[in-house]
Structure 1
Amino acid sequence: MTHGITRRRAALAVLCTSLLAGNGTALAADPWPSKAIRIIVPYAPGGIGDIVARMIQPVLQDQLKQPVIVENKPGASGSLGTEYVARSAPDGYTLLLALAAPQTLNQYIYKTGYDGVKDFAPITLINTNPMVLMVHPSLPVRTVDEFVRYAKANPGKLSFGGAGGLTSFAGEMFKHMAGIDMVHVPYRGGAPAVAATVAGDVQVTFANYSDALTWMKSGRLRAIAITSAHRTEQSPDIPTIAESGIPAYDVTGWSGLLAPAGTPPEVVERIANVLRPALQDPSMRARMANVGAESGGTSPAEFGKLVANDARKWEEFVRRTGIKINP
């Protein structure tokens, strides 16, 4: 009797072990993705990050065969949503629509709970979005050289509107490299800063190309130069600041897709391999151009290098100048 009970217990233990092993194997082999994926946008709906996220949403949804949800988490100049993703599980189901300032600048001027380089796994650059140095038409300047000479002749009399992040630091870096004195006037967004320049409340602004385009075409603001290292495809006649007498000046906005650090490399590669050809498709390039952006499509390693280089540039600039911008 005792031996029979022992044998039954042993058989039951083997069965349980087999079932558990089977379940474990099934879980381990569970293919990614097996549920909805979220793209966190660290700004409010309607901005360039939100627009771009909704451009890539159907591509991912169609290719990965799972729902892709765009979720806006604005606050703290983009740091709130960025930190949320940094602290999310690295399982490929929570991604970040990253923008240049929250990813590479904010940690050096604000108190943030993340490292924009170390706490993320880069996937791909989605686009670049240059800025434009624009002035009110009443200002008697048409080139960077004329602007600098005018500013030096009128120290402290010019004011520029910025919205924190790159739109403000583009102006701060310009001031520093050109050796001029301008007063920074903060606004709560790029569009209000541009509107203030149109109204003449400030004379200068460094605006995202998408915010600048309408006003440039109408003639209500005068475009002086592009802030990126290369001329933009959309307005090839506008020179860069670097080629206009301030060598090495380069402030370029961008959007990219990131995952939390520790996300499996095969998941990162799969997302990148889906997006890269889509971003190079002529129809997508045209859609990007309509919002003043140039389409990307880099490898994870290439995008990671871009993020690290930008972060290093801003860290050095902030340390060298001691500049702080109140959030």
Structure 2
Amino acid sequence: MQRRALLAAPLLAAPFLSSGAYAQGAWHPSRPINIIVPFAAGSGTDAVARVVAQMLSVELGGTPITVENRAGANGTIAATAVMRSPPDGHTLFITTNTTHAANPWLLKRMEYDPVGDFTPISKLGNYVFWLAINPELPARNLQEFLALARARPGTLSYASGNGTGIVAGATIARLGGVEMLHVPYRSTPPAITDVIAGRVSSIVIDLTPSLGHVREGRMRQLGITSAARSALVPEALTLAEQGLNGFDLLSFAAFFGPARLPPEVTATLAAAMQRIGARPEYRTRMADMGFDGGTSTPAELGNFVVQQIAAWGEMIRGAGIEPE
């Protein structure tokens, strides 16, 4: 898919952005719903999807909902499977900026269009990412880590299990003026395992799968990637305030169906997510595992994805990453 087609995303998004397309209608699932996730069990997205699946099942009158992990190829395996599924509401997609903002700039060829091939349902919230290292490394903050990398050019490494990890690691190296080896993984759980074991030096990882490891001393966090500190981990400094001026990386999770999802199906699912998002339990459960939960309308999500594709393109070009 040509990049210029993605830059014309507002035109592709138009069918989804009209509020009239989401008029209330009755829809009842006729069989169990399958939510596909592009990362492995134990990843942050998997954890978020399982909370959503449980709460959505209740909202849909007890309809069984399963979560299916299809990791690999930077999320494209899962995205393509959802794109090709029947648009009847029984196959859905919980994914992130990896498939819906970063991949258009990380990959030379894609089999799906993140705007035109999906129906937006609701944003689910934002991840908090931080730079975490093996605790045996003699670095207690970002500047000490960068000094260590300068003293050992090319010997320190960073793991990635998603698009955020790829872009953040490359940006830290560029802004910090250091050379580090990139070690890609199919998903974050095995990457975390290798950082803890010392086979990889560092990783930019979301709180959801890593918070327990950091608090128990198996990993050491050196700062979060957002420009502002997070109430979820108020003790964590930002990378920007430690010297990486302008560093501000947003990572999100969102809920989609395949393109041409009938309006009554979209309306039912979107209304259910609005009810879920309004419940204090939703934010509490998400916050407990390090995720900043918050829902949206389909139109808001459609516009947001278009904006994020442009923003991630700018970040990826700035990091000097060439598509593969």
Interval of TM-score (by shorter of Structure 1 and Structure 2) = 0.7 to 0.9
Is residue 32 of structure 1 aligned with residue 30 of structure 2? no
The aligned amino acid for 1:64 is: L
Contact 1:43/1:72 (8 A) holds in 2: no
- Among candidates 46, 51, 54, match of residue 47 of structure 2: 51
Is residue 85 of structure 1 aligned with residue 82 of structure 2? yes
5 Å-filtered alignment, 1:245-284, equals 245-284=243-282
- The 1:133/1:43 distance shift into structure 2, 3 A limit, reads closer
Instruction: Quote the residue 1:113 is aligned against.
Output: 111
Alpha-carbon separation, structure 1, partners of 2:321 and 2:185: 17
Instruction: Provide the secondary structure at the position in 2 that maps to 1:155.
Output: coil
**TM-score under structure 2 length normalisation:** 0.80
User: Superposition RMSD on alpha carbons, in Å?
Assistant: 2.7
5 Å-filtered alignment, 1:171-210, equals 171-210=169-208
Q: Residues 89-142 of structure 1, C-alpha deviation per residue, up to 9 Å, x if partnerless? A: 434333211222122222333332101123222211113222220123343333
The aligned amino acid for 1:90 is: P
The aligned amino acid for 2:30 is: K
- The 1:66/1:286 distance shift into structure 2, 3 A limit, reads closer
Contact 2:41/2:69 (8 A) holds in 1: no
Q: Residues 168-206 of structure 1, C-alpha deviation per residue, up to 9 Å, x if partnerless? A: 222012222333211112334322222222222222221
Aligned-residue sequence identity (percent) comes to 34
Alpha-carbon separation, structure 2, partners of 1:286 and 1:63: 18
- The 1:215/1:58 distance shift into structure 2, 3 A limit, reads closer
Alpha-carbon separation, structure 1, partners of 2:150 and 2:65: 50
Deviates more, 1:236-245 or 1:155-164: 155-164
Instruction: Quote the residue 1:104 is aligned against.
Output: 101
- 1:256 offset after TM fit, Å? 1.2
Unaligned segments of structure 1, at least 5 residues: 1-29
Contact 1:159/1:184 (8 A) holds in 2: yes
Instruction: Provide the secondary structure at the position in 2 that maps to 1:228.
Output: coil
- 1:68 offset after TM fit, Å? 4.2
Number of residue pairs matched?
Answer: 297
Contact 1:73/1:80 (8 A) holds in 2: no
Unaligned segments of structure 2, at least 5 residues: 1-24
The aligned amino acid for 2:241 is: E
- 1:224 offset after TM fit, Å? 0.7
- Among candidates 26, 38, 43, match of residue 42 of structure 1: 38
Alpha-carbon separation, structure 1, partners of 2:272 and 2:221: 37
Alpha-carbon separation, structure 1, partners of 2:266 and 2:127: 24
Using CA pairs under 8 Å that are at least 6 residues apart, name the structure with larger relative contact order, 1 or 2: 2
Larger radius of gyration: 1
Instruction: Quote the residue 1:170 is aligned against.
Output: 168
Instruction: Quote the residue 1:232 is aligned against.
Output: 230
Deviates more, 1:220-229 or 1:104-113: 104-113
Alpha-carbon separation, structure 1, partners of 2:220 and 2:133: 5
- Among candidates 276, 286, 289, match of residue 287 of structure 2: 289
- The 1:251/1:64 distance shift into structure 2, 3 A limit, reads same
